[in-house]
Amino acid sequence: MSKQDKYKVLQEYLKSLGSVAVAFSSGVDSTFLLKAAYDALGDKVIALTARSCSFPERELQEAINFTKDLHVPHEIFDSEELKNKEFSENPANRCYICKREIFSKMKEIADKMGMKEVIEGSNIDDLGDYRPGLAAIEELGIKSPLRYAGLAKNEIRELSKDLGLETWDKQSFACLASRIPYGQRITEEKLKMVDEAEQLLLSMGFRQVRVRHHENLARIEINESQFPLIMKKETRELIYNRCREIGFIYVSLDLLGYRTGSMNETLDV
C-alpha cells in the first residue's frame, strides 16, 4: 500500500472516532498526527501536552507555537512522575509507569472536554524495540491511528513534508529519563544536566544527539556522519569544558554513534 493510500486510511479512521484529544509532544509523529486529525475533524480536536522535568522547555514551546498556528485548543498539564518512587528508581518498566500516569490524566481531561477518544502517535517502527509504554497505552484504551494505518517513520516524514510541516526532518526525540541507565535513580538534577548538554550539542549544529548520563560520565551519541565535526580539537575542547561546567567529570563519544534504545542493550528482553 502506498503512503498516500495509508494516509487515506488514516483520515477515514480519524473521522470514525468522532472527536479526539491528541497526545502532543511537538515531535515528528505527534505533529503529523495532530495536523491529520485537524484536517479530518476540524474543531473536534484538542491537543494535550504533559509538562515535566523530563520534557525540555524547547519542545514545550514548539508545541505551544504549533497549536497556536493551527488554531487547535491546547491543554498543558503537569506530570509528576518523579514523585512516584516506582518511576524514580528507574526499573526496566519505567516507561510503563510514566505512560500509565500521563495517559490516565489525558483521559480525564478529554472526558471533561467532551472528547470521545485519546490518540497518540506511535508508528509501526515502534513495535521493533522494547517499548513497555505501549502496554500502558493499550490497557487504557488509547488509540494509535498511525499504527492502525500501517505508517512507518520514513513515510510519516515524507507525508509531513507534503503537508508543509517543518517537523518533517526534525531529529527524533525521547523522554530525557531514557538517558539514564536502568537501576540508576532518576533525579531532577540529572535530567537538567542531560538537557543542558544536549542543548549545547544542538546549538553547535549536531542534529541527532543523545547524552547518556552515567553518573559522572557523559556518553555522547551523534550520527556517524558528524564524527569529523566533533573530532575537531576546538569542538572537543568546547564540549568538554561546557560539560564539566554542567557537572560531568568525564565526557566520551560512543563509537557506534546514535541509535534508538541503546539503554535497552543491557536488558534481556
Digit-by-digit pLDDT tens for the chain (269 residues) are 899 999 999 999 999 999 999 999 999 999 999 999 999 999 999 999 999 999 999 999 999 999 999 999 999 999 988 888 999 999 999 999 999 999 999 999 999 999 999 999 999 988 866 678 889 999 999 999 999 999 999 999 999 999 999 999 999 888 999 999 999 999 999 999 999 999 999 999 999 999 999 999 999 999 999 999 999 999 999 999 999 999 999 999 999 999 876 666 665 54
Co-location of 47 and 180 in the same domain? no
Co-location of 156 and 230 in the same domain? no
Q: Cell numbers for 114, please give them.
A: 467532551
By residue range, what is the domain housing residue 231?
176-266
Co-location of 67 and 47 in the same domain? yes
Q: What is the pTM of this model?
A: 0.90
Q: Tell me which of 169, 190, 207 is where a domain ends.
A: 169
Q: Assign residue 210 the CATH number of its domain.
A: 3.30.70
Cα 107 to Cα 105: distance, rounded to the nearest angstrom = 5
Co-location of 156 and 180 in the same domain? no
Co-location of 100 and 218 in the same domain? no
| CA-wise closest residue to 252 among 264, 261, 243, 260 | 243
Co-location of 148 and 187 in the same domain? no
Co-location of 98 and 210 in the same domain? no
Cα 204 to Cα 143: distance, rounded to the nearest angstrom = 38
Co-location of 77 and 137 in the same domain? yes
Co-location of 103 and 8 in the same domain? yes
Number of domains in the chain: 2
